[in-house]
Structure 1
Amino acid sequence: MPQSFACIYIHLIFSTKDRMDWIREDWEIELHRYFAGTLRNQGNKLIEAGGTPNHVHLLFSMAKQTSISDVVRDLKSNSSGWIHRDVPECREFAWQVGYAAFSVSFSAIEDVQTYIRNQKDHHRIKTFQEELLAFLEKHQVEYDPKYVFE
């Protein structure tokens, strides 16, 4: 085949350090725009962003030459820098070290978008910890419970 083709969709989840409620509604949309720009600069495309004050969900299409670890590294470091610069009361802001990334089939994109849009309502019932464990179990990801929420 003379060309390479890829159709890769990722549902990425990561939290603030110690799941502190850092992300405020008055700058959350700008944070999502910053994520979109970072992804675009890597050749990726943000489809949906959402979350709560202590974590984010991003659905994006991933370019075939991109690695998920590079994407996450750039998203976290670039957004932390922006927050430290432009949100003066958040100079101590930090992201948690880890992340969760799940593949999404093309046919499930709308469902994942809806899920991400409804994060604030969803978390009135379920904690971030419960949500993440449910994702890990649903996707049959092996994990050691001692280290999931360090």
Structure 2
Amino acid sequence: MAQSLSRILIHTIFSTKDRRGALTDRELRAELHAYLGGILANLDCQPLIVGGVADHVHLLSTLARTQTVANVVKETKRAATLWLQRADPVFANFAWQNGYGAFSIGASQVAAVRKYIARQEEHHRQVSFQDEFRTLLTRYDVEFDERYVWD
């Protein structure tokens, strides 16, 4: 094949350090989500939707054929942290958790995952981030040790 082609869809989730509800301002959170989408685009990962609540974010994007999941998450967190720290002095010590969750999805699941991410505020009125993340890990058959999932 003369060309390298791919379309890998990935749902990535990561939390603020210690799941602190640092992103309570809705306007700032919307700007952060847009900024996260821009970071993804700069990494050649097409953002499909970015959302979340005060203590975590969800990214639905493509994964560029030249990127690794680990690099995309690292660069996304790094750039978003710098942006937040510049946006407001209250974020001077802001940090994301060390880890993340990344789940591949099929093209037929895009609409459902988009809807799920768009409804995060409503969803988290009933379900905690920890329970949500445990459910996703179980659904995707990811083995995990509860002692090492949270930081």
Which bin holds the TM-score, normalised by the shorter protein? over 0.9
2 CA distance for matches of 1:118 and 1:103?
20
Paired residue type of 1:141: V
Residue 123 of structure 1 aligns with an amino acid whose one-letter code is H
Cα distance in 1 between the residues matched to 2:98 and 2:147: 15
2:6 maps to 6
Q: Partners in 1 of 2:76 and 2:83 — Cα distance?
A: 11
Confirm or deny: 8 A CA contact 2:37 2:49 kept in the other structure.
Answer: no
Q: Which residue of 2 aligns with 1:57?
A: 58
Match of 1:140 in 2: 141
Q: Which residue of 1 aligns with 2:22?
A: 22
| Separation in 2, partners of 1:133, 1:60 | 21
Pairwise CA distance, 1:103: 0.3
Partners of 2:50 and 2:43 in 1: CA distance: 17
Whole-angstrom CA distance in 1 between matches of 2:91 and 2:21? 11
RMSD of aligned Cα (Å): 0.8
Q: CA deviation at 1:26?
A: 2.1
CA distance in 1, matches of 2:59, 2:73: 11
- Name the % identity: 40
Larger mean Cα displacement after TM superposition, 32-41 or 69-78: 32-41
- Who is 2:93 aligned against? 92
Question: How do 1:40-55 residues align onto structure 2 when only pairs under 5 Å count?
Answer: 40-55=41-56
Structure 1: state its 5+ residue gaps: none
Cα deviation 1:43-87 (Å, max 9, x = unaligned): 111110111100000100111111111100110000000100112
Deviation at 1:5, TM superposition (A): 1.3
Which amino acid in the other structure matches residue 102 of structure 1?
F
